Structure 1
Amino acid sequence: MVNVQGINHITIRVSNIESSKTFYRNILGAKIVHKGNTDIYLDVGGVWLCLIEMVNAKPIDKNQIGVDHVAFTVSEEHFPKAVQLLREQKVEITRGPIQRGGGNTVSFIDPDRNVIEFFTGSLQERMKNWK
């Protein structure tokens, strides 16, 4: 068994690096760490996020096997502001905002229809509420 210490980074394939960079900076507050020709490395609340531009790539069908979504923790007090920002920026919300699994949650999509979630709860709270 490997002693995993945590998530190192998340890589997301995107169709346009510039529009994705703008989205992740404006919505998630991402800070640019490095920008290459077809990739960009971002820091999102201490999470290393890499966007790789895939020209002519086709979106993944939501019924295919693979990663369903990426969820970021936001504080309970900041959650209403996060939802307001999504609405002001006309980001498509796919679920919520609702209370679910021990916290408030809202799911939305990035420019390439990758699903992102803001969640206020913890794993312990979710397990208390999961049936």
Structure 2
Amino acid sequence: MASLLKAVAAVSGAVGLFSRLQTSAPKVKALSTSQSSHQVAGPVWNLGRLNHVAIAVPDLEKAKAFYENVLGAQVSEVVPVPEHGVSVVFVNLGNTKMELLHPLGNDSPIAGFLQRNKAGGMHHVCIEVDDINASVMDLKEKKIRILSEDPKIGAHGKPVIFLHPKDCGGVLVELEQA
């Protein structure tokens, strides 16, 4: 009988605790997609796949050797891209690429990045679009800042634009014509 009373007391104590937890638990609001300040892309252009993640590196040959010799990745030769003030190496990852960036001259935007980030680090993400000109017009209408007036030819020989990181959640986003 004593063990039965102990069991009843334990259950009623747990029930009391459970009911106190239910009444004191904070209410959580569901995240609403309608709260976003940006509109969804219209039918004029479509966002495609992730093309690459760009990493700024202070020593391009050392970084290239790490991905090639230590990790066993397929890497490209160094490609100078004077229009963007960089030298690049592409690391093939199968489903996407990494782009290793190094300044080409003192006026390179990557030189400034490396002054602030001595060890290097992630610089931008590149996403493909099916119509870069339509995307530029649409994004300008949506008040997303574009970092150049017109698309430029990127390291893959295709038109690219960069979107201001302050308009993209703190991330520098490159759009590339697919």
Higher helix fraction: Structure 1 or Structure 2? 2
Question: Which structure would you say has the larger Rg?
Answer: 2
TM-score range, shorter chain: 0.3 to 0.5
Higher strand fraction: Structure 1 or Structure 2? 1
